[in-house]
Amino acid sequence: MEFEAPFIEALQQAVTPSEADVAIARGVVLDAVTHADEPALVTDFEDAWLKAQGGRRPAERTQYQAVASTQNGRRLADPDPTDPHLMEFPCRQAVRRALAQLVAEG
């Protein structure tokens, strides 16, 4: 299926973490490490990031479904960045960037 340029741009924006997302991830990681009795998993950091953003993991065995647009000339509506299927992408990237920054800082 060919996607229209506006949909692709909106999708890329929805799944790319911002600097604020990375800052939230740093806080989540530092908080989890500070209060953990044993080593934390990356998925623990991701779950905490999603919770801090008001999100959650999508249900298992579900897929992202694009919504038809109500605008003339467009087939698909802009993706909702709060959709659990989309939130996983910036979550993973933000947490990994934060971990890399923290490791680099020592």
Average per-residue pLDDT for the chain:
90
Q: Give the model confidence (pLDDT) of 41-63 as tens digits.
A: 999 999 999 999 999 999 888 88
> Does the pLDDT of residue 2 top 80, yes or no?
no
d(CA 21, CA 40): 20
Per-residue confidence (pLDDT) for residue 1, from 0 to 100 = 62
Per-residue confidence (pLDDT) for residue 75, from 0 to 100 = 82
d(CA 58, CA 15): 15
Residue 68, SS3? Answer: strand
What's the whole-model pTM score? 0.82
Q: 3-state DSSP: the chain helix, strand, coil percent, rounded to 5?
A: 60, 0, 40
